[in-house]
Amino acid sequence: MAQAQLDLRSLGDECGGPSLVVLLAREASPLPVGGSLEVWTQAADQTFTVTAWAPKNGFDVVAVDETGSQARILLIKRA
């Protein structure tokens, strides 16, 4: 199954805005149904943005693993 990874930790505390959503869409759009996108975040606001964006854009949030201020979010593209 196709997999992609997106590391947003380099954005620091940037909570969202167009750049984060554009990066998500760019990585997610080529994935086939059932493909996974693993997203790493640095701030709680980024984690919120990713988990709010996912269901509205055809993805299920299947895992959110938080350690301190960082999180690993696993998204699966649905049909």
Band the pLDDT of 69: cuts 50, 70, 90. Answer: confident
pLDDT tens track for 24-67: 999 999 999 999 999 999 988 899 999 999 999 999 999 999 99
pLDDT value, residue 14:
59
The fourth-level CATH superfamily of domain 3-77 is TusA-like domain (3.30.110.40)
> How far is the CA of 55 from the CAs of 12, 18, 25, 39, 68, in angstroms?
24, 17, 13, 14, 25
C-beta contacts of 15-19 below 8 A and 24+ residues apart:
15/43, 15/45, 15/46, 15/48, 15/49, 16/45, 16/46, 16/48, 16/49
Angle at 36 between CA 35 and CA 40, to 5 degrees: 160
At residue 24, the pLDDT reads 93
Single pTM value for the model: 0.90
**Top-confidence residue, 74 or 11:** 74
User: Does residue 78 register a pLDDT over 80?
Assistant: yes
